[in-house]
Structure 1
Amino acid sequence: MTREQFVDVARAALGERRSLAAVERIRGGTKKGVYRLVLEDASTAVAYVWNDAENYWPTTPGTDSDDHRDPFSAATGIDLFEAAHRHLTALGIRTPRIHLADRSRTYLPADVVVLEDVTGGSLEALLRADPAAAARPLARLAEALGAMHGHRGPRFGKVALIDAGRASHGESCEQVLLERALTDLAEAASRDTRLRGRDRDLEAAVRGLAATVQPRTEYALIHGELGPDHVLVDAAGEPVIIDIEGLMFFDVEWEHTFLHLRFGEHYPAIAAASAADLDPQRIAFYAMAMHLSLIAGPLRLLDGDFPDRDAMLGIVEHNLAAALAFLPRAAA
């Protein structure tokens, strides 16, 4: 999108007398457009834009990506964003401040939110460049996760759905994830020939792990995809959580499985605040389910015109090896 398209948005969000000097697309979004708005005084804001043209994910025939009764339907849209923002703000968890949220499509042919621009870079970059400097935001992130995971919901599902008094499809988190893992396995095997012939063994492994999980009816508030790239660091050294549309009440083990995968050697620094009572059976099953998801998802994304194809293929390779590692040596 061009500077001219954002002129009215910038004025509505930041003041009638402000002049928009430039617009820069920020790399990384797959479901929404993310743009930096640069004003005449060099101050900045960030715009999120939701419409079909900004979404790289191909439509899956026979599914409704807007049906939020599926906890893992597309985590995209202004409604999910605003509901998640309300929950995090109420808990005192830092996320970029909102200047404007507009679903009227008066300013753009899209839903748009204009936010504070947190310019300190990502926690991921800081961990690479200066691990010592990253220690404080990492510790503060652990505190935020402790607050989130200590906050319980009456049912599992996206927070916007729960706020509306509705219920997700499925009887339990583990049942939803079993069905999803089997679907991901079938999709992945249809796209990657290396899985054909091993899919039955992988299905047996998934079902076996799922069978060890005991019932539970307690659900924590989780981000769902919280890697260090989804945490910014502000000028005060505070972590700022972004890409929040997937916020939901779910098993805390699903969050920790992703945290362990993405934070790697830094995971123990953030695990202490909320990892004491994790169920090892759920962790094992969810790790397998997540690896299958991170094979099928990137392969599905590559059906479209997503530009950073090498990055997606790298994710596929890593998770393919990790999923196959769950098989007995003879089957693998």
Structure 2
Amino acid sequence: MTRTFLRPEDVREVVAEQLGTDRRVTGLDRLAGGSKKGVYRLTLDDRTTVMLYVWAPGENYWPPSPTVPDDPFTDASGAELFGINHAALTAAGVPTPRLLMLDRDGRYLPADLALVEDAGTLKLETLMERDPAAAAAPLSALGDALRRMHTTLGPHYGKLATLAHGEASQSRPAEDVIVDRALGHLGLASARDARLADAHEPIADHVRRLRGAVTPRRAYALVHGELGPDHVLVTSSGEPAVIDIEGRAYFDVEWEHAFLQLRFDDDYPALRPVDLDPHRLELYRFAQVLSLIEGPLRIADTDFPERQWMLDLAEWNIAKALAAVGAGHDR
């Protein structure tokens, strides 16, 4: 599809009404990396900046795919999710850029919009690589915030918006949702990679063995869903600010920590995690390996500008999946 992104003249009305008629847009930059929504930095004539999030079909690179109906991390995008999740994180004491305006009525553009405080350009990921000593304080503060989030408990799992609408479905354990999700990802990825097709049954059996070791539990925490150091900004005052919040849900806290372990690697202990169930963690860790194959391979079939990065990510996780069942790595 031909994608048309916003121009400065497209945002003048929202700036005038929300930030003042005496302020003018002097720059508009669409930031790289967004795959489900457009993320724009607006520069104003007084040299201040603000972020504009745009949910519109032309901003979403993801093609549709079969999903597990009760998977709370499916279709985790949209202005409604952003607004509800922002309120929940704020209530839990999790630092996130301030929400200035949310428009779901098309008042300014034929799209849903959020105007958000600009927390800066420094990602925790960059600071960890460039200056580990300077990253220690925001890492510690992030760990405090995560413990507040992960001890915010609820009786049901699901998207916050779904739970707010009273639509929670508790017909089966959360771990069975993840098994179905993992097997679905395996099937879709196997259609794109012959190595996975050859190893399909051993990998599926491995998922089922991991599931068999998990004991029943019904305790759900508030989780981010996909929190890496690239989803945390470090403000000018050195504080962390969590972004990309649409995927928040109540779910098993091990789902969160499987991803945190992957993304924070050697720095993960600095987050001082809550107690975890090792068997549940192992199942979720492997399910995320399969997710990080299927998703990148699917979006790599589109016009997403960072296609090679996605293919490399898929390749890294294909090697992990094959190694888990002792399969070869040849194409």
TM-score by length of 2: 0.94
Q: Which runs of 4+ in 1 moved over 3 A?
A: 328-332
Residues 109 and 314 (structure 1 numbering): CA distance in 2 closer, same or farther, change over 3 Å? Answer: same
Q: Look up the match of 1:280.
A: 278
8 Å CA contact 1:151, 1:221 repeated in 2? yes
* Counterpart-to-counterpart distance in 2, 1:77 and 1:303: 23
The residue that corresponds to 2:156 in the other structure is 155
* Residue-by-residue CA offset, 1:119-155 (whole Å, 9 max, x unaligned): 1510001111111000000000000000000010120
The answer to whether the 8 Å contact 1:120/1:235 transfers is no
Displacement of 1:330 in angstroms is: 8.6
Pair 1:251 & 2:249 matched: no
More displaced stretch, 14-23 vs 31-40: 14-23
- 1:233-272 correspondence to structure 2 within 5 Å: 233-270=234-271, 272=272
Give the equivalent residue in structure 1 for 2:72: 71
Task: Deviation per CA, 1:21-61: give whole Å up to 9, x if none.
Answer: 1110111110000000000011100000001110000123x
Equivalent residue, structure 2, for 1:179 = 180
Gap change, CA 1:57 and 1:141, over 3 Å in 2: same
What number of residue pairs does the alignment pair up?
325
Which residue number corresponds to residue 3 of structure 2?
Answer: none
Equivalent position of 1:167 in the other structure:
168
Correspondences of 1:206-225 after superposition (within 5 Å): 206-225=207-226
* Secondary structure of 1:240 counterpart: strand
Shift in alpha-carbon separation, 1:260–1:169, aligned structure 2, 3 A:
same
Q: Distance in 2 between matches of 1:63 and 1:149?
A: 26
SS of 1:48 mapped into structure 2: strand
1:170 Cα shift? 5.2
- Structure 1 CA distance for aligned equivalents of residues 193 and 28 of structure 2: 39
Note the C-alpha offset of 1:169: 6.8
The C-alpha deviation readout for 1:141-195, integer Å capped at 9, x for no partner, is 0000000000101200111111222214751210000000000000000011121
Which of 301, 304, 309 is the matching residue for 2:302? 304
Residue 303 of structure 1: CA displacement? Answer: 2.2
After superposition, give the CA deviation of every residue in 1:217-267 in whole Å (9 maximum; x if it has no partner): 100110010000000011111100000000000001010000000111111
Which of 304, 314, 329 is the aligned partner of 1:316? 314
* CA distance 1:170–1:233, shift in 2 (3 Å): farther
1:33 is aligned, of 38, 46, 53, to: 38
Secondary structure, in 3 states, of the residue corresponding to 2:191? helix
- 8 Å Cα contact 1:143/1:273 also seen in 2: no
Structure 1 stretches lacking a partner, 5+ long: none
Please say which of residues 2-11 and 160-169 is displaced more in the overlay. Answer: 160-169
Match in the other structure for 1:23: 28
Summarize the Cα distance change of 1:229–1:15 in structure 2 as closer, same or farther, 3 Å threshold.
same
Q: Using the alignment, how far apart are the partners of 1:24 and 1:89 within structure 2?
A: 27
Distance in 2 (CA, whole Å) between partners of 1:298 and 1:12 is 39
Tell me if the contact between 1:12 and 1:100 (Cα under 8 Å) persists in the aligned partners: no
Between the aligned partners of 1:17 and 1:186, the Cα distance in structure 2 is 56
Q: Is the 8 A contact 2:62 2:299 kept in 1?
A: yes
State the secondary structure of the residue aligned to 1:24: strand
Distance 1:140 1:168 in 2: 34
Change (3 A) 1:236 1:120: farther
Give the residue type in structure 1 aligned to 2:158.
Answer: G
Aligned residue number for residue 100 of structure 2: 99
Letter in 2 for 1:11: A
SS in structure 1 at match of 2:324: coil
- Equivalent of residue 59 in structure 1, options 47, 55, 64: 64
Q: Distance in 2 between matches of 1:331 and 1:241?
A: 37
Percent identity reads: 48
User: Are 2:67 and 2:181, in contact at CA under 8 Å, matched by a contact in 1?
Assistant: no
CA contact (8 A) 1:94 1:241 kept: yes
> Closer, same or farther in 2 for the Cα pair 1:330/1:230, shift >3 Å?
closer
Does the aligned pair in 2 maintain the 1:3–1:23 contact within 8 Å? yes
SS at match of 2:105: coil
Deviations 1:83-122 (A, max 9, x none): 1100011112111111111111121110000100011510
Residues 47 and 114, structure 1, Cα contact 8 Å, conserved in 2: yes
